[in-house]
Every structure is written in structure tokens, then in C-alpha cells.
């Protein structure tokens, strides 16, 4: 590609006039940069002239049919989107409901197992308490100890409105900027 840029063609000498060729050193280029070609204003003009034609109006019935087509296409796309949304919801909602329902059933089963275990432990403790080797005695009202209530000191609650009515502290030097 660079060799094509460095080549400068020279026309062959004609028979009628012979020029004496000068020996000049070949030009040296520092960089190969394409040159911009400036054109004359006459070259910008196009040789083809355009005919001015009026844009053809479509018949009113055809315009109406195109409007119906555009609106029905928009309506169809909207209905398809709504249908897909409703279908997705009808598939997603029962799946979610069944998962939550299975969690509820598991929790109810665990609750029944805990209640049964709690009652069996109470029954076992009651049976152990009835055995004479347990060292427990039936409750006797004469052996009960009653304690007098302790004196609770009364704590005074001060009104907070009294604290806020104090005069503000004004200093001679500024506290901050």
C-alpha cells in the first residue's frame, strides 16, 4: 500500500517535442498522509435534474384499512402480553400456594408431636412423683411459708417541662462558626 503512494508516474516523451529530463533527487516523504482534493463548485452540481412530483394520496378506504391494521396489531400485541401474564400467574400462584401449604402441614405435624411429647413427659414426671422412693411429700398447708411484701421506695418523677424552662447559657465567645 505504501509503495503505491510513493510512486509518481512520469509521462513518456512525445515525438513532437522532446524534453530534456532533469536529474532531480527523488522526493523524500516524512509520512504518508492522503491529500484532500478540493473540487470546483461546478463539480458539485448534479447532471440529473429531479422532476417534482406530488406524493400520491392513497384512497380513503385504503387509509382506513391501514389504520385498522395498525390498531389491531397494537391491540393484538397488548392482548398477547396480558394473556402471557395471566397464564404465568395461574401457573405461579398454585405452585406458590402448594409450597406454602406443605410448610403449613409440616408445622401442624410438628406442633402435634410437641404436644404429645409434652404430655408424655408430664405423665412420666407424675408417675415418678407418686413413687415412695422419690422423696416428695404431698403438699401440707401447715408447712407453707408466707412472706410479707417488701417495702418498695417511691421514686419521684420530675416534670421535664421544668428543665426546659431554664434560661439558655449565653457565652461571650462564639462556640462555633
Whether pLDDT at 71 is above 90: yes
- Domain assignment present for 31: no
Task: Dig out the grid coordinates for 14 from the structure.
Answer: 512525445
The whole-chain average pLDDT of the chain stands at 80
Q: How confident is the model at residue 19 (pLDDT cuts 50, 70, 90)?
A: low
- Domain assignment present for 109: yes
Tell me what pLDDT residue 16 has: 59
Give the separation between CA 105 and CA 112, rounded to whole angstroms: 11
Q: Is the pTM of this model over 0.85?
A: no
- Domain assignment present for 69: no
Domain that holds residue 125: 92-129
- Domain assignment present for 99: yes
pLDDT 10s digits, 22-52: 666 666 656 655 666 565 655 566 677 777 7
- Domain assignment present for 106: yes
Distances in whole angstroms, Cα of residue 164 to Cα of each of 67, 167, 170: 75, 8, 15
Highest-pLDDT range among 61-75, 119-133, 136-150 = 61-75
Q: How confident is the model at residue 55 (pLDDT cuts 50, 70, 90)?
A: confident
Whether pLDDT at 118 is above 90: yes
- Domain assignment present for 116: yes
Tell me what pLDDT residue 110 has: 97
Instruction: Give the torsion through C-alpha atoms of 135, 136, 141, 147, to 10 deg.
Output: 90
Domains held by the chain: number: 1
Tell me what pLDDT residue 143 has: 84
Instruction: Give the torsion through C-alpha atoms of 161, 163, 169, 174, to 10 deg.
Output: -70
- Domain assignment present for 96: yes
Give the separation between CA 37 and CA 2, rounded to whole angstroms: 19
Tell me what pLDDT residue 70 has: 97
- Domain assignment present for 148: no
Task: Dig out the grid coordinates for 52 from the structure.
Answer: 417534482
Whether pLDDT at 95 is above 70: yes
Q: How confident is the model at residue 20 (pLDDT cuts 50, 70, 90)?
A: low
Amino acid at each position: 500500500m505504501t509503495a503505491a503512494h510513493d510512486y509518481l508516474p512520469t509521462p513518456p516523451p512525445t515525438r513532437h517535442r522532446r524534453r530534456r529530463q532533469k536529474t532531480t533527487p527523488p522526493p523524500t516523504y516524512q509520512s504518508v498522509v492522503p491529500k484532500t482534493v478540493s473540487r470546483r463548485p461546478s463539480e458539485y452540481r448534479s447532471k440529473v435534474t429531479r422532476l417534482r412530483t406530488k406524493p400520491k394520496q392513497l384512497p380513503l378506504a385504503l387509509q382506513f384499512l391501514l389504520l385498522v391494521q395498525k390498531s389491531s396489531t397494537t391491540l393484538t400485541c397488548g392482548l398477547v402480553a396480558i394473556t402471557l401474564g395471566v397464564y404465568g400467574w395461574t401457573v405461579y400462584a398454585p405452585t406458590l400456594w402448594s409450597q406454602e401449604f406443605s410448610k403449613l402441614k409440616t408445622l401442624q405435624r410438628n406442633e402435634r408431636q410437641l404436644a404429645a411429647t409434652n404430655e408424655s413427659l408430664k405423665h412420666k414426671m407424675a408417675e415418678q412423683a407418686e413413687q415412695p422412693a422419690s422423696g416428695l411429700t404431698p403438699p401440707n398447708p401447715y408447712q407453707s411459708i408466707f412472706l410479707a411484701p417488701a417495702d418498695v421506695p417511691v421514686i419521684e418523677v420530675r416534670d421535664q417541662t421544668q428543665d426546659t424552662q431554664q434560661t439558655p447559657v449565653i457565652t461571650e465567645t462564639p462556640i462555633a462558626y
